[in-house]
Amino acid sequence: MNSEEIKDHIYSMGKKARAAALKLSQLTEVEKASILRAMARAVREATPEILAANTKDIEAGEAKGLTGAMLDRLRLDANRVDAIAGGIEQVADLPDPVGEELEKIDRPNGIHITKARVPIGVIGIIYESRPNVTSDAAVLCLKSGNATILRGGSEAIHSNRAIAKALQEGGEPAGLPDGAIQLIPFTDRESVQVLAGMDKYLDLIIPRGGKGLIETVVSLARMPVIKHYDGICHAFVDTAADQDLAVAIIDDGKTQKPSVCNALETVLVHKDIAEEFLPKLEQRLKVRGVEIRADEHALKILSDAKAATDEDWVTEYLDLIIAVKVVDSIQAAIEHINEYSSQHSEVIITRDDVAANQFLTGVDSACVYHNVSTRFSDGEEYGFGAEIGISTDKLHARGPMGLKELTSYQYRVTGDGQIKDKARQDALLSTQEA
Protein backbone atom coordinates (compact mmCIF):
# COMPACT_ATOMS: atom_id res chain seq x y z
CA MET A 1 0.00 0.00 0.00
CA ASN A 2 1.19 3.52 -0.65
CA SER A 3 0.97 6.33 1.89
CA GLU A 4 -2.29 7.65 0.55
CA GLU A 5 -3.93 4.23 0.73
CA ILE A 6 -2.67 3.63 4.27
CA LYS A 7 -4.06 6.97 5.36
CA ASP A 8 -7.42 6.40 3.67
CA HIS A 9 -7.70 2.95 5.18
CA ILE A 10 -6.94 4.11 8.72
CA TYR A 11 -9.21 7.15 8.47
CA SER A 12 -12.08 4.96 7.33
CA MET A 13 -11.41 2.77 10.36
CA GLY A 14 -11.48 5.90 12.51
CA LYS A 15 -14.83 6.97 11.16
CA LYS A 16 -16.30 3.52 11.80
CA ALA A 17 -14.83 3.51 15.30
CA ARG A 18 -16.42 6.89 16.09
CA ALA A 19 -19.85 5.62 15.04
CA ALA A 20 -19.32 2.43 17.06
CA ALA A 21 -18.24 4.44 20.13
CA LEU A 22 -21.57 6.25 20.23
CA LYS A 23 -23.40 2.92 20.20
CA LEU A 24 -21.05 1.42 22.78
CA SER A 25 -21.66 4.30 25.16
CA GLN A 26 -25.34 3.38 25.27
CA LEU A 27 -24.93 -0.37 25.94
CA THR A 28 -26.01 -1.64 29.34
CA GLU A 29 -23.85 -3.63 31.74
CA VAL A 30 -25.83 -6.80 30.89
CA GLU A 31 -25.45 -6.27 27.13
CA LYS A 32 -21.71 -5.74 27.40
CA ALA A 33 -21.28 -8.79 29.62
CA SER A 34 -23.15 -10.99 27.15
CA ILE A 35 -21.04 -9.70 24.24
CA LEU A 36 -17.87 -10.40 26.23
CA ARG A 37 -18.95 -13.93 27.07
CA ALA A 38 -19.71 -14.61 23.41
CA MET A 39 -16.27 -13.30 22.54
CA ALA A 40 -14.63 -15.60 25.09
CA ARG A 41 -16.46 -18.61 23.62
CA ALA A 42 -15.41 -17.59 20.12
CA VAL A 43 -11.76 -17.35 21.15
CA ARG A 44 -11.89 -20.85 22.67
CA GLU A 45 -13.57 -22.23 19.56
CA ALA A 46 -11.00 -20.55 17.31
CA THR A 47 -8.08 -22.12 19.18
CA PRO A 48 -6.96 -24.20 16.15
CA GLU A 49 -7.02 -21.17 13.82
CA ILE A 50 -5.24 -18.96 16.37
CA LEU A 51 -2.52 -21.56 16.96
CA ALA A 52 -2.06 -22.09 13.22
CA ALA A 53 -1.64 -18.33 12.75
CA ASN A 54 0.75 -18.21 15.68
CA THR A 55 2.87 -20.97 14.14
CA LYS A 56 3.32 -18.75 11.08
CA ASP A 57 4.53 -15.91 13.29
CA ILE A 58 6.89 -18.17 15.22
CA GLU A 59 8.36 -19.59 11.99
CA ALA A 60 8.83 -16.11 10.58
CA GLY A 61 10.39 -15.01 13.88
CA GLU A 62 12.82 -17.92 13.88
CA ALA A 63 13.75 -17.17 10.28
CA LYS A 64 14.32 -13.53 11.25
CA GLY A 65 16.55 -14.65 14.15
CA LEU A 66 14.42 -13.37 17.06
CA THR A 67 15.90 -14.16 20.49
CA GLY A 68 14.47 -16.91 22.67
CA ALA A 69 12.88 -14.35 25.01
CA MET A 70 11.17 -12.63 22.09
CA LEU A 71 9.92 -15.90 20.67
CA ASP A 72 8.60 -16.80 24.10
CA ARG A 73 6.60 -13.56 24.31
CA LEU A 74 5.19 -14.33 20.88
CA ARG A 75 4.37 -18.02 21.39
CA LEU A 76 0.84 -19.22 22.10
CA ASP A 77 -0.30 -22.70 23.05
CA ALA A 78 -3.71 -24.11 23.96
CA ASN A 79 -3.27 -23.04 27.60
CA ARG A 80 -2.37 -19.49 26.68
CA VAL A 81 -5.36 -19.20 24.34
CA ASP A 82 -7.54 -20.56 27.12
CA ALA A 83 -6.05 -17.93 29.45
CA ILE A 84 -6.98 -15.21 26.93
CA ALA A 85 -10.57 -16.45 26.92
CA GLY A 86 -10.54 -16.68 30.71
CA GLY A 87 -9.32 -13.10 30.89
CA ILE A 88 -12.31 -11.98 28.81
CA GLU A 89 -14.71 -13.77 31.18
CA GLN A 90 -13.04 -12.11 34.15
CA VAL A 91 -13.57 -8.69 32.60
CA ALA A 92 -17.21 -9.58 31.84
CA ASP A 93 -17.71 -10.11 35.57
CA LEU A 94 -16.23 -6.76 36.64
CA PRO A 95 -18.63 -3.96 37.56
CA ASP A 96 -19.44 -1.57 34.69
CA PRO A 97 -17.81 1.79 35.40
CA VAL A 98 -19.99 3.71 32.90
CA GLY A 99 -22.85 5.76 34.32
CA GLU A 100 -21.44 5.83 37.85
CA GLU A 101 -22.34 9.10 39.61
CA LEU A 102 -19.03 10.52 40.77
CA GLU A 103 -20.45 13.60 42.43
CA LYS A 104 -23.79 15.27 42.98
CA ILE A 105 -23.90 19.01 43.55
CA ASP A 106 -27.05 20.94 44.47
CA ARG A 107 -26.64 24.66 43.92
CA PRO A 108 -28.49 27.41 45.79
CA ASN A 109 -30.21 28.50 42.55
CA GLY A 110 -31.91 25.11 42.34
CA ILE A 111 -29.86 23.49 39.61
CA HIS A 112 -28.69 19.93 40.21
CA ILE A 113 -25.33 18.86 38.81
CA THR A 114 -24.37 15.22 38.39
CA LYS A 115 -20.81 14.34 37.45
CA ALA A 116 -21.32 11.07 35.57
CA ARG A 117 -18.72 8.63 34.35
CA VAL A 118 -18.76 8.22 30.55
CA PRO A 119 -16.52 6.36 28.09
CA ILE A 120 -13.57 8.20 26.57
CA GLY A 121 -14.63 7.35 23.01
CA VAL A 122 -12.11 5.85 20.61
CA ILE A 123 -8.80 4.59 21.98
CA GLY A 124 -5.77 3.68 19.88
CA ILE A 125 -3.47 1.02 21.33
CA ILE A 126 -0.01 0.57 19.87
CA TYR A 127 1.86 -2.45 21.12
CA GLU A 128 4.67 -4.79 20.23
CA SER A 129 5.03 -8.52 20.24
CA ARG A 130 2.64 -10.07 22.79
CA PRO A 131 -0.48 -11.26 20.89
CA ASN A 132 -2.59 -11.51 24.07
CA VAL A 133 -2.61 -7.69 24.21
CA THR A 134 -4.94 -7.74 21.18
CA SER A 135 -7.61 -9.29 23.34
CA ASP A 136 -6.73 -7.80 26.75
CA ALA A 137 -6.73 -4.20 25.52
CA ALA A 138 -9.80 -4.51 23.29
CA VAL A 139 -11.82 -6.17 26.01
CA LEU A 140 -11.01 -3.63 28.74
CA CYS A 141 -11.84 -0.81 26.35
CA LEU A 142 -15.12 -2.50 25.38
CA LYS A 143 -16.14 -3.03 29.01
CA SER A 144 -15.56 0.68 29.65
CA GLY A 145 -17.65 1.58 26.56
CA ASN A 146 -14.80 2.56 24.25
CA ALA A 147 -14.05 1.56 20.67
CA THR A 148 -10.48 0.46 19.95
CA ILE A 149 -8.14 0.66 17.03
CA LEU A 150 -5.30 -1.77 17.60
CA ARG A 151 -1.91 -1.61 15.99
CA GLY A 152 0.23 -4.58 17.00
CA GLY A 153 3.81 -5.39 16.08
CA SER A 154 4.72 -7.01 12.79
CA GLU A 155 6.09 -10.14 14.51
CA ALA A 156 2.64 -11.07 15.80
CA ILE A 157 0.51 -9.97 12.85
CA HIS A 158 -0.94 -13.39 11.99
CA SER A 159 -1.78 -14.18 15.61
CA ASN A 160 -3.27 -10.71 16.14
CA ARG A 161 -5.46 -11.02 13.06
CA ALA A 162 -6.73 -14.43 14.14
CA ILE A 163 -7.54 -13.18 17.66
CA ALA A 164 -9.21 -9.99 16.41
CA LYS A 165 -11.27 -12.04 13.95
CA ALA A 166 -12.47 -14.34 16.73
CA LEU A 167 -13.40 -11.34 18.91
CA GLN A 168 -15.33 -9.66 16.10
CA GLU A 169 -17.07 -12.75 14.78
CA GLY A 170 -17.93 -13.90 18.28
CA GLY A 171 -19.10 -10.48 19.44
CA GLU A 172 -21.12 -9.21 16.50
CA PRO A 173 -24.01 -11.72 16.68
CA ALA A 174 -24.22 -10.87 20.41
CA GLY A 175 -24.53 -7.13 19.71
CA LEU A 176 -20.96 -5.86 19.33
CA PRO A 177 -21.29 -2.75 17.13
CA ASP A 178 -19.51 -2.94 13.79
CA GLY A 179 -16.21 -1.08 14.16
CA ALA A 180 -16.00 -1.41 17.94
CA ILE A 181 -12.81 -3.49 17.77
CA GLN A 182 -10.58 -3.01 14.75
CA LEU A 183 -7.06 -4.20 14.11
CA ILE A 184 -4.96 -2.37 11.55
CA PRO A 185 -4.32 -5.29 9.19
CA PHE A 186 -0.85 -4.21 8.08
CA THR A 187 2.21 -3.16 10.05
CA ASP A 188 3.83 -0.42 7.95
CA ARG A 189 5.60 2.09 10.19
CA GLU A 190 3.51 4.82 8.61
CA SER A 191 0.40 3.49 10.29
CA VAL A 192 1.71 4.75 13.65
CA GLN A 193 2.20 8.19 12.13
CA VAL A 194 -1.30 8.24 10.66
CA LEU A 195 -2.91 7.10 13.91
CA ALA A 196 -1.00 9.72 15.91
CA GLY A 197 -2.27 12.48 13.63
CA MET A 198 -5.91 11.33 13.53
CA ASP A 199 -7.24 13.50 16.37
CA LYS A 200 -10.53 13.85 14.54
CA TYR A 201 -11.37 10.23 15.38
CA LEU A 202 -9.02 9.21 18.18
CA ASP A 203 -9.53 10.53 21.72
CA LEU A 204 -6.54 8.82 23.32
CA ILE A 205 -3.52 6.85 22.25
CA ILE A 206 -1.76 4.35 24.52
CA PRO A 207 1.65 3.17 23.37
CA ARG A 208 2.88 0.05 25.12
CA GLY A 209 6.39 -0.99 24.34
CA GLY A 210 9.96 0.19 24.12
CA LYS A 211 11.25 3.69 24.62
CA GLY A 212 11.70 4.23 20.87
CA LEU A 213 8.07 3.48 20.09
CA ILE A 214 6.83 5.71 22.92
CA GLU A 215 9.12 8.58 21.90
CA THR A 216 7.80 8.38 18.34
CA VAL A 217 4.20 8.48 19.48
CA VAL A 218 4.84 11.36 21.93
CA SER A 219 6.48 13.49 19.29
CA LEU A 220 3.77 12.87 16.67
CA ALA A 221 0.57 12.65 18.66
CA ARG A 222 -2.04 15.40 18.42
CA MET A 223 -4.32 13.72 20.96
CA PRO A 224 -3.64 12.79 24.60
CA VAL A 225 -1.07 10.03 25.12
CA ILE A 226 -0.82 7.91 28.23
CA LYS A 227 2.72 6.64 28.32
CA HIS A 228 3.81 3.36 29.82
CA TYR A 229 7.52 3.96 30.13
CA ASP A 230 9.96 1.52 31.62
CA GLY A 231 10.41 1.06 35.34
CA ILE A 232 13.62 2.26 36.91
CA CYS A 233 12.52 1.34 40.42
CA HIS A 234 14.47 2.06 43.61
CA ALA A 235 14.73 0.60 47.10
CA PHE A 236 16.06 2.85 49.88
CA VAL A 237 17.38 1.12 52.98
CA ASP A 238 17.11 3.57 55.88
CA THR A 239 19.22 3.55 59.07
CA ALA A 240 16.20 2.28 60.96
CA ALA A 241 15.54 -0.59 58.57
CA ASP A 242 14.84 -4.16 59.57
CA GLN A 243 17.79 -5.41 57.55
CA ASP A 244 16.53 -8.96 56.98
CA LEU A 245 13.31 -7.51 55.69
CA ALA A 246 15.31 -5.19 53.42
CA VAL A 247 17.23 -8.15 52.00
CA ALA A 248 13.95 -10.01 51.42
CA ILE A 249 12.31 -7.05 49.65
CA ILE A 250 15.34 -6.41 47.45
CA ASP A 251 15.71 -10.10 46.60
CA ASP A 252 12.01 -10.28 45.66
CA GLY A 253 12.17 -7.03 43.72
CA LYS A 254 15.25 -7.98 41.73
CA THR A 255 15.20 -11.73 41.25
CA GLN A 256 11.63 -13.04 41.39
CA LYS A 257 10.93 -11.82 37.82
CA PRO A 258 13.65 -9.49 36.54
CA SER A 259 12.01 -8.88 33.14
CA VAL A 260 9.06 -6.82 34.41
CA CYS A 261 8.66 -3.07 34.84
CA ASN A 262 8.06 -3.17 38.60
CA ALA A 263 11.32 -5.05 39.25
CA LEU A 264 14.05 -3.19 41.15
CA GLU A 265 17.03 -1.68 39.34
CA THR A 266 18.77 0.43 42.02
CA VAL A 267 19.38 0.12 45.76
CA LEU A 268 20.23 3.19 47.84
CA VAL A 269 21.67 2.56 51.29
CA HIS A 270 21.99 5.05 54.14
CA LYS A 271 25.69 5.58 54.96
CA ASP A 272 25.21 4.84 58.67
CA ILE A 273 24.27 1.22 58.04
CA ALA A 274 26.09 0.59 54.76
CA GLU A 275 28.98 -1.34 56.32
CA GLU A 276 26.67 -3.65 58.23
CA PHE A 277 24.00 -4.08 55.57
CA LEU A 278 25.79 -4.30 52.24
CA PRO A 279 27.64 -7.57 52.98
CA LYS A 280 24.31 -9.21 53.98
CA LEU A 281 22.74 -8.00 50.77
CA GLU A 282 25.70 -9.12 48.71
CA GLN A 283 25.55 -12.59 50.20
CA ARG A 284 21.89 -13.03 49.21
CA LEU A 285 22.30 -11.53 45.74
CA LYS A 286 25.31 -13.75 45.09
CA VAL A 287 23.20 -16.86 45.68
CA ARG A 288 20.71 -15.47 43.18
CA GLY A 289 23.44 -14.80 40.62
CA VAL A 290 22.98 -11.02 40.61
CA GLU A 291 25.79 -8.78 39.38
CA ILE A 292 26.29 -5.61 41.47
CA ARG A 293 27.33 -2.25 39.98
CA ALA A 294 28.38 -0.04 42.91
CA ASP A 295 29.23 3.60 43.45
CA GLU A 296 32.64 4.48 44.92
CA HIS A 297 31.53 4.25 48.54
CA ALA A 298 29.69 0.93 48.20
CA LEU A 299 32.53 -0.49 46.14
CA LYS A 300 34.82 -0.22 49.18
CA ILE A 301 32.44 -2.27 51.30
CA LEU A 302 31.36 -4.91 48.79
CA SER A 303 33.74 -7.73 48.02
CA ASP A 304 32.69 -8.57 44.49
CA ALA A 305 31.10 -5.60 42.71
CA LYS A 306 31.89 -3.66 39.55
CA ALA A 307 32.15 0.13 39.48
CA ALA A 308 28.91 1.80 38.38
CA THR A 309 28.96 4.45 35.67
CA ASP A 310 26.48 7.31 35.24
CA GLU A 311 24.64 5.12 32.75
CA ASP A 312 23.77 2.64 35.49
CA TRP A 313 21.47 5.08 37.33
CA VAL A 314 19.22 5.41 34.28
CA THR A 315 19.25 1.84 33.01
CA GLU A 316 16.36 -0.60 33.21
CA TYR A 317 18.41 -3.81 33.22
CA LEU A 318 15.45 -6.24 33.11
CA ASP A 319 18.16 -8.70 34.07
CA LEU A 320 20.09 -10.04 37.08
CA ILE A 321 22.07 -6.82 37.51
CA ILE A 322 21.53 -4.19 40.21
CA ALA A 323 23.04 -0.77 40.88
CA VAL A 324 23.98 0.14 44.47
CA LYS A 325 24.75 3.55 45.91
CA VAL A 326 25.45 4.81 49.43
CA VAL A 327 23.62 8.06 50.29
CA ASP A 328 24.15 10.52 53.14
CA SER A 329 20.55 10.98 54.16
CA ILE A 330 16.96 10.15 53.37
CA GLN A 331 16.73 13.52 51.64
CA ALA A 332 19.66 12.55 49.38
CA ALA A 333 17.83 9.30 48.56
CA ILE A 334 14.65 11.19 47.65
CA GLU A 335 16.63 13.57 45.45
CA HIS A 336 18.43 10.73 43.67
CA ILE A 337 15.10 9.01 42.98
CA ASN A 338 13.37 12.18 41.77
CA GLU A 339 16.30 12.77 39.44
CA TYR A 340 16.83 9.28 38.00
CA SER A 341 13.71 7.16 38.45
CA SER A 342 11.08 6.71 35.77
CA GLN A 343 8.43 7.69 38.37
CA HIS A 344 7.09 4.15 38.45
CA SER A 345 7.59 2.42 41.85
CA GLU A 346 9.97 2.97 44.77
CA VAL A 347 10.25 1.55 48.29
CA ILE A 348 11.68 2.63 51.62
CA ILE A 349 12.59 -0.03 54.15
CA THR A 350 12.50 1.41 57.67
CA ARG A 351 10.93 0.99 61.11
CA ASP A 352 10.77 4.78 61.46
CA ASP A 353 7.32 6.08 60.49
CA VAL A 354 8.49 9.68 60.26
CA ALA A 355 11.18 8.70 57.76
CA ALA A 356 8.63 6.58 55.88
CA ASN A 357 6.23 9.49 55.64
CA GLN A 358 8.98 11.81 54.42
CA PHE A 359 9.80 9.29 51.71
CA LEU A 360 6.21 8.57 50.67
CA THR A 361 5.32 12.25 50.34
CA GLY A 362 8.68 13.40 48.96
CA VAL A 363 9.15 10.86 46.18
CA ASP A 364 7.35 11.89 43.00
CA SER A 365 6.50 8.45 41.62
CA ALA A 366 3.22 6.73 40.79
CA CYS A 367 3.55 4.05 43.48
CA VAL A 368 5.55 4.51 46.67
CA TYR A 369 5.98 1.70 49.20
CA HIS A 370 6.89 1.35 52.84
CA ASN A 371 8.20 -2.13 53.73
CA VAL A 372 6.44 -3.73 50.73
CA SER A 373 7.97 -5.10 47.53
CA THR A 374 7.61 -2.91 44.43
CA ARG A 375 6.51 -6.06 42.61
CA PHE A 376 2.98 -5.30 43.88
CA SER A 377 2.58 -2.41 41.41
CA ASP A 378 -0.10 -4.11 39.37
CA GLY A 379 -3.81 -3.60 38.74
CA GLU A 380 -4.79 -7.02 40.02
CA GLU A 381 -2.73 -6.62 43.19
CA TYR A 382 -4.44 -3.27 43.80
CA GLY A 383 -7.84 -4.89 43.44
CA PHE A 384 -8.74 -3.26 40.11
CA GLY A 385 -9.58 -6.64 38.59
CA ALA A 386 -7.54 -6.08 35.46
CA GLU A 387 -5.23 -3.48 34.08
CA ILE A 388 -4.32 -2.13 30.69
CA GLY A 389 -0.85 -1.20 31.96
CA ILE A 390 1.05 0.99 34.38
CA SER A 391 1.02 4.68 33.49
CA THR A 392 4.17 6.63 34.21
CA ASP A 393 2.32 9.82 33.32
CA LYS A 394 0.80 12.20 35.86
CA LEU A 395 -2.27 13.35 33.95
CA HIS A 396 -5.56 11.43 33.90
CA ALA A 397 -4.11 8.05 34.89
CA ARG A 398 -1.08 7.33 37.07
CA GLY A 399 0.15 3.89 38.09
CA PRO A 400 -1.98 0.82 37.41
CA MET A 401 -4.71 1.68 34.88
CA GLY A 402 -7.93 -0.24 35.36
CA LEU A 403 -11.40 0.23 33.89
CA LYS A 404 -12.05 3.54 35.70
CA GLU A 405 -8.95 5.06 34.14
CA LEU A 406 -10.41 4.19 30.72
CA THR A 407 -13.30 6.57 31.31
CA SER A 408 -13.98 10.30 31.28
CA TYR A 409 -16.90 12.17 32.84
CA GLN A 410 -19.64 14.60 31.90
CA TYR A 411 -21.58 17.16 33.91
CA ARG A 412 -25.36 16.67 33.59
CA VAL A 413 -27.28 19.65 34.84
CA THR A 414 -31.03 19.75 35.41
CA GLY A 415 -33.29 22.55 36.53
CA ASP A 416 -36.59 24.27 35.86
CA GLY A 417 -35.72 27.18 33.66
CA GLN A 418 -32.76 28.79 35.45
CA ILE A 419 -31.16 31.54 33.39
CA LYS A 420 -28.12 33.63 34.20
CA ASP A 421 -29.86 37.01 34.23
CA LYS A 422 -33.58 36.82 35.00
CA ALA A 423 -33.89 40.48 35.97
CA ARG A 424 -32.82 41.50 32.49
CA GLN A 425 -35.59 39.43 30.88
CA ASP A 426 -38.18 40.50 33.44
CA ALA A 427 -37.36 44.11 32.63
CA LEU A 428 -37.86 43.46 28.93
CA LEU A 429 -41.16 41.67 29.46
CA SER A 430 -42.55 44.38 31.74
CA THR A 431 -41.68 47.04 29.13
CA GLN A 432 -43.55 45.06 26.49
CA GLU A 433 -46.60 44.65 28.72
CA ALA A 434 -46.63 48.31 29.69
Question: CA 186, 204, 73, 176 torsion: positive or negative?
Answer: negative
Binding residue for a second copy, selected from 4, 63, 212, 395, defined by CB under 8 A: 395
**Shortest spacing between CB 259 and a second copy, in angstroms:** 14
Q: Which element (helix H / strand E) includes 105?
A: strand 101-106
Strands (E), 140-270: 147-151, 181-183, 204-207, 233-237, 264-270
CA 144, CA 212: separation in Å to the nearest integer?
Answer: 29
Torsion, CA 210, CA 216, CA 221, CA 226, rounded to 10? 20
For a second copy, the binding residue among 399, 401, 402, 403 (CB under 8 A) is 399
Binding residues for a second copy restricted to 52-111, rule: CB under 8 A: 105, 107, 111
Q: How many CB atoms lie within 10 A of CB 328?
A: 11
Distance in angstroms (rounded) separating the CA atoms of residues 176 and 407: 19
Q: Which of 64, 280, 286, 394 binds a second copy (CB under 8 A)?
A: 394
What distance in Å separates the CA atoms of residue 431 and residue 434, rounded to the nearest whole number? 5
The residues, any chain, with a CB within 8 Å of residue 99's CB and separated by 6 or more, are: 116, 117, 118
Residue 41 Cα distances to 70, 88, 143, 419, angstroms: 28, 9, 16, 53
Residues binding a second copy: what is the number (CB under 8 A)? 74
189 vs 424 by CB, closer to a second copy: 424
In terms of CB distance, is 56 or 412 closer to a second copy?
A: 412
Binders of a second copy among residues 10 to 39 (CB under 8 A) are 22, 25-26
Query: Least Å distance between CB 133 and a second copy?
Result: 21
Question: Considering beta carbons, is residue 300 or 412 the nearer one to a second copy?
Answer: 412
Q: Which of 1, 102, 427, 428 binds a second copy (CB under 8 A)?
A: 428
Give the contact letters, 406-425, x = binds to a second copy (CB under 8 A), - = no: --xxxxxxxxxxxxxx--xx
Distances (CA, A) of 409 to 87, 119, 149, 197, 224: 26, 8, 21, 24, 16
Q: Give the nearer residue to a second copy in terms of CB position, either 300 or 351.
A: 351
Nearest approach in angstroms of CB 21 to a second copy is 9
**Side-chain-facing half-sphere of 83: CA atoms under 13 Å:** 8
Q: Which is nearer to a second copy, 218 or 332 (CB)?
A: 218
The burial of 175, by beta-carbon neighbours within 10 Å (0-12 exposed, 13-18 middle, 19 or more buried), is given as middle
Nearest distance from C-beta of residue 414 to a second copy, angstroms? 4
Task: Report, in Å, the least distance between residue 419 CB and a second copy.
Answer: 4
Residues within window 292-351 making contact with a second copy, judged by CB under 8 A: 338
Tell which positions 354-393 bind a second copy, by CB under 8 A.
356, 360-362, 364-373, 375-377, 381-383, 393
For residues 133 and 127, is the Cβ–Cβ distance under 8 A? yes
152 to 211, contacts with a second copy by CB under 8 A?
A: 199, 203-204
- Stretches 5-13, 136-144, 248-256, 297-305: which one binds a second copy (CB under 8 A)? 248-256
Closest separation in Å from C-beta 227 to a second copy: 10
Min. distance of Cβ 293 from a second copy in angstroms?
Answer: 23
Which residue in the set 287, 307, 320, 354 belongs to the binding site for a second copy (CB under 8 A)? 287
- Shortest distance, CB of residue 351 to a second copy, whole angstroms? 10
Minimum CB–partner distance for residue 104 and a second copy (Å):
11
Nearer to a second copy, 110 or 210 (CB): 110
End-to-end CA distance of the chain: 73
Binding mask of the shown chain, residues 120 to 159, with x at each position contacting a second copy by CB under 8 A? xx--------------------------------------
| Nearest approach, Cβ of residue 323 and a second copy (Å) | 20
CB of 33 or CB of 205, closer to a second copy = 205
- DSSP-assigned states of every residue in 28-39: -HHHHHHHHHHH
Q: Considering only CA atoms, which of 414, 353, 403, 347 is closest in space to residue 379?
A: 403
Strands 101-106 and 112-119: antiparallel
- State in angstroms the smallest separation of the CB of 417 from a second copy: 4
By CB under 8 A, is residue 249 in contact with a second copy? yes
Q: Side chain identity at 262, as an amino acid letter? A: N
Residue 403: partners with Cβ closer than 8 Å, 6 or more residues away: 94, 97, 140, 143, 144, 384, 385, 386
Q: Are 247 and 280 a contacting pair, CB within 8 Å?
A: yes
